[in-house]
Each structure stands twice: as structure tokens, then as C-alpha cells.
Structure 1
């Protein structure tokens, strides 16, 4: 006959009962750290010449780590462009419809065309097809393996 006896059964049950909270805390911490690293990567790599060149720095300043938690999930990533109107068109590409630019605060607009300076009260801009210049999705794709490895290690440590 084969038998088994568990010594310290109450401790084992207590440890198993506490494990989901411990795993959740480890996942939350790991994803928070990775989200911060991802936002930094986007700013340092994608928005500093690799995909887009920095002009005013507004798009780069709009990038931040995004973390969320519900009763059944924990997630981490990065967000950008909430207050930058051109963020989405750079990420996905698309059509900027024809529109007119009118001098409001100045009496005239000044342009250099073929080395000749020209002045106008208004200018008609034609349709412009913007190419996709992904800085968010491409960063997520590139950095996901590292984030997954960090998450696995954190959860493994929480279980042991």
C-alpha cells in the first residue's frame, strides 16, 4: 500500500491561498517597470531620429508609461499624443485633406519658393498622403520579448 502524509498542511494551504495576490503584485510591478522602459525607448530611439526627427519635442513629451488594472487583469504599455494632434497620422499614416491656411496674427505668410521669398494672405494646401511612421506599435513589437521575459521571471520568483 502506498500512502502520503502532508506535514504542515495549514501552512501549505495558506501559502497557496496567498499566491494569486503575490503573483498579481509581481506582475503589476514588472509591467510597471517595463512600461517605463518602453516609454523611454520610444522617446530615445523612435522619436529622436530612427522614425521621426525631433522638432518641437511636443510628441516626445506626450509619451508616457501606461498601466492599468482591473479585477481580472494587469497591463502595461505606453501612450502618446493625447494633446498632440499629429500623433495619430504619424503612427498610422493617412490623408490630410486639402485646406486653406490664412494669416491670422500676421498680415501675411512668408514662404521661400525656389530661393525666392513670397508673401501671401492665404495659401491653399492640396491633399497630402502621409506615410505610416509607426513609433508606438513598432516599439511595442521590438520590446515585447524583453517585457515578456521580465514578466515571466517576476511571476516565477513570486511562485517560489
Structure 2
């Protein structure tokens, strides 16, 4: 007959039972850090002259990071929030339809043509083709290796302690 006795089996089992929750917590904490770094890089590099120049700062100010957890895992997103209508067309490119431009706060539009100031009650815009100027996907692509390594390191560190 063969008998095996293990000391500390109950303690080891309890530590391993806590690993999924601890791993989710460690990955969530790392995801918060990484998402903030990604959002910061989008704002300071891509939207401050790297891909797009700042005019009003509305797009740059709309970039936000969010991390959520559920029973299955951790999800992080970095996106333009709020009402920045041109965010998607700058990221993906596209076409705008022909449309009228009307004055919003005055009775006429004012603009300079050939060095002379001109006024008009409306302008017929022919539409535009906007090229892709990826600021979100390009930054994620640049940082993806570092993100994967940081998440793997966080998981390995937790498992070493368990």
C-alpha cells in the first residue's frame, strides 16, 4: 500500500482558489495604467501635431480611457467621447456629401478669396474626400507589443507570488 501526506495542502488550495479573482484584479489595475498611457499618447503625440494639428482642441480633449471588468475578464477602451462629429472621419477617412453652408451667428458668411474679403448669404460646398488619419488605431498598433508584455508581466508576477 502506498500513502502520501502533504503538509499545507489546504493552504495551497486556498491560495490557488483565489488566483482567478486576484489575476483579474491585477490585470484590471494594469489595464487602467496602460489605457491611460495609450490615451495620453494619442492626445500628446497624435493629436498635438503628430497626425492632426490642434485647432480647437475638442478632439484631443475628447479622448478618454475606460476599463471594465466582469466575471469573464477585463476590457479596456480608448475612444473619442462626447459630440466630436469629425472624430470618426479623421480616424477612418471618408466622404462628405455636398451641402449648403449657412451663417449660424450672423446674416452673412465672411471669408477671404484672393486677398479680398468676401461676403455671402450661403455657400454651396461640393463635398470632400477626407483621407484616413488614424490616431487611435495607429497608436494602439505602435503600443501593442508593450501592452501585451506588460499584461503578461503582471500575470506572471501574480502567479509567482501564489
Normalised to the residue count of structure 1, the TM-score between the two structures is 0.94
Q: Which consecutive segments of 4 or more residues in structure 1 shift more than 3 A?
A: 1-5
Other-structure match for 1:159: 159
Other-structure match for 2:27: 27
The CA RMSD measured in Å over matched residues stands at 1.6
CA contact (8 A) 1:43 1:63 kept: yes
Pairing of 1:127-138 with structure 2 (within 5 A): 127-138=127-138
Aligned residues: 160
CA contact (8 A) 2:111 2:119 kept: yes
CA contact (8 A) 1:38 1:77 kept: no
> Aligned to 2:12, what secondary structure does the other structure show?
helix
Distance 1:105 1:29 in 2: 47
Distance 2:3 2:9 in 1: 16
Distance 2:3 2:134 in 1: 61
Other-structure match for 1:62: 62
Which stretches in structure 1 are left out of the alignment for 5+ residues? none
Other-structure match for 2:93: 93
Other-structure match for 2:77: 77
Normalised to the residue count of structure 2, the TM-score between the two structures is 0.93
Other-structure match for 1:108: 108
Other-structure match for 2:49: 49
CA contact (8 A) 1:67 1:75 kept: yes
Distance 2:26 2:126 in 1: 52
